[in-house]
Amino acid sequence: MSFLQVLDNIAKAASDIGITVAALAYLLGVVFCVSSFMLASEAANPSKRGSAKSTAWLWSLGFSALMFALPTTIASISSTFFGNVSTDLTFAYTASETKKLAPLIPILKLIGVIAVIRGLVVLRTVAVYGNYARANNTLGKGLTLIVAGVLLVHMKETLGLVGSITGMKLGIDMF
């Protein structure tokens, strides 16, 4: 079995994996929402008023909303980079004899969506617990994961952007 056949098989399974990743994002949204209510009850304690932790429940609730609306979140971040591009988060793939690297597109989209989810989780951890509170999560790491994920979701546009900036032809027609 060649490398291109392996890519082809993974790309065909990407839509099923994408559904699982979307379900995981919704589940994380539910967990963040429940966690925000627990944090809100802690913040209602009169002895903790005015502390930095008293706003943690708001941050957690905001990140739960971002997880519930993951396609909209990615689309709004994408419009910052690329203007009005369609953010199609379907991972459908059909084999093509002329475009040998076409299976990479759904795989890279899937990796990009996972990176955005991971970035949102890191940013929520930083907002609720502070920098370096858990496994060396920092604001920069979270933002980097989100930006890299959005660039991967729009790989063709990213290559076109880099190609137009550098003046190089990057083989976009291979996708």
At 74-110, the pLDDT tens digits run: 888 777 777 776 666 665 655 665 566 777 888 888 8
Q: Quick one: CA dihedral 91, 95, 96, 97, positive or negative?
A: positive
| List of long-range contacts for 65-72, beta carbons under 8 Å, 24+ apart | 65/29, 66/29, 66/120, 67/25, 67/26, 67/28, 67/29, 67/32, 67/117, 67/120, 68/26, 68/29, 70/22, 70/25, 70/26, 70/113, 70/116, 70/117
At 8-42, the pLDDT tens digits run: 777 777 777 878 888 888 899 999 999 888 888 87
Instruction: Check whether 145 has a pLDDT greater than 90.
Output: yes
Write down the pTM of the prediction: 0.79
Q: Which candidate, 32, 23, 2, places its Cα nearest to that of 100?
A: 2
Instruction: Check whether 54 has a pLDDT greater than 80.
Output: no
User: Which one is predicted more confidently, 78 or 173?
Assistant: 78
Within 10 Å of residue 158's Cβ, how many Cβ atoms?
Answer: 20
DSSP 8-state symbol, 52: G
Instruction: Check whether 53 has a pLDDT greater than 70.
Output: no
